[in-house]
Amino acid sequence: MLIPLALFAASGCTWLIPGMNVHPGLAGQHPYFVRGSKAATAASQRLNYRVIPITPQVVASLLVHEAPADAPPSGAPRLKALLPSMVAPDYRIGPGDLIDVTVWDHPELNAPAGMQSQNAALSGQLVSSDGSLFYPYVGSFKAAGMTVEAVRRYLTAHLRKLIQDPQVSVRVLEYGSKRIEITGEVVRPETITLGNVPLGVLQAIDAAGGLAPGASRRRAILVRNGVRYHIDLAGLLSGSRPVPNLELEPGDIIHVPDQSADQIFMLGAVAQQRPLAMTQDTMTLIQALTDAGGLDNTRASGSGVLVFRLPSNAKPGVAADVYEINMSTPQGVLLAGQFPLRPRDVVYVQATEFAQYNAVINQLLPTITAVFELKQTVGF
């Protein structure tokens, strides 16, 4: 909630003044510097902006680039996707695994005191922290890294010294050596132990009870060997575009953030000035206006709608985009139903006619720029 509070606190009451006196804009001429009050001018000395009328061509170009990039960080290896057709490789035993060994027709070798127990901890053999496994008449041997079949062959070969044609079976009673962490907005943040069945991001979230009500439905983060990979959770859940369900490895951390970075801020002459969380794959301008209760009929001018957008990697001198749309025409309403919003967009509905808008940008852009810089500083 810090972001919407910062927006409202920093902007004071200028957002709600009816009949705001604005000056002719410079649509079609960009980039150019904001002109206005001293505070706005000081902020604009290091940031320019461009006004982009929303046209069918603009909407089409935005839709082409709407899908978020899922490329790994520069220099990082690509991760393997988990496919339903994949056959799991043979499980390799590790420290903390509990192994059950059965030698047929020789119950004295199968459990302490020569009898079977319903308690796995009593009937199994624990692989120690150094990876060794002890078995009677065989002694300790390095089991870590071996498959179950390799352990069976090893024990069979050594028990032949005592038993004629030993029949040995080996299985893992409890898996304990390979773990992942799932944190953030899931029902049960916890440590999950990997077994002999491959686990993907979707399966890990399901094992943690699923997404919590306040979880982002758009993104998740995978940390492997200190490298952060961004997961397109929206595409993964909706199926609207091909997104791999990444296979997890021991030591991985899956973090599901909350919806604070998925918000769109609705300001100006709308029925409800508030942030909206993008809980779906996409949200259009008309959907956002509808979720905010529509335009305030007592103050709003249907022709005056601005969408403020800064690049995710905005730096001083990088042009900010201010999209403007005339919704007093049928074409404008149709385009608003197709215009894709992005997280952190600020939608402002003017309380005056849209023939003039430069002063509105003067007042809003410095505050919006400050909020985006705050986002970069604290790592939202």
pLDDT tens, residue by residue, 282-329: 889 999 999 998 877 766 666 678 898 877 665 655 667 889 888 777
DSSP three-state, residue 323:
strand
pLDDT at position 315, please? 61
Kindly report the pTM of this predicted structure: 0.71
- pLDDT at residue 186 is higher than 60: yes
Q: How many Cβ atoms sit within 10 Å of the Cβ of residue 65?
A: 9
- Residues 180 and 205: their CA atoms lie apart, in Å, by 11
> What whole-number distance in Å separates Cα of residue 49 and Cα of residue 275?
23
Domains in the chain with CATH codes: 2-66+282-378 (3.10.560.10), 98-174 (3.30.1950.10), 179-259 (3.10.560.10)
∠ Cα 73 346 47 (to 5°)? 70
* Residue ranges with strand state E in the chain: 32-33, 48-53, 98-103, 125-126, 132-135, 139-142, 168-174, 179-184, 190-193, 219-224, 227-232, 253-256, 263-268, 274-277, 305-309, 320-325, 346-349
- What is the identity of the amino acid at 309? R
Average pLDDT value for the chain:
77
- pLDDT above 90 covers what percent of the chain? 36
Collect all residues with Cβ–Cβ distance below 8 Å to 113 and sequence separation of at least 6.
none
Closest by CA position to 125, among listed 84, 161, 176, 76: 176
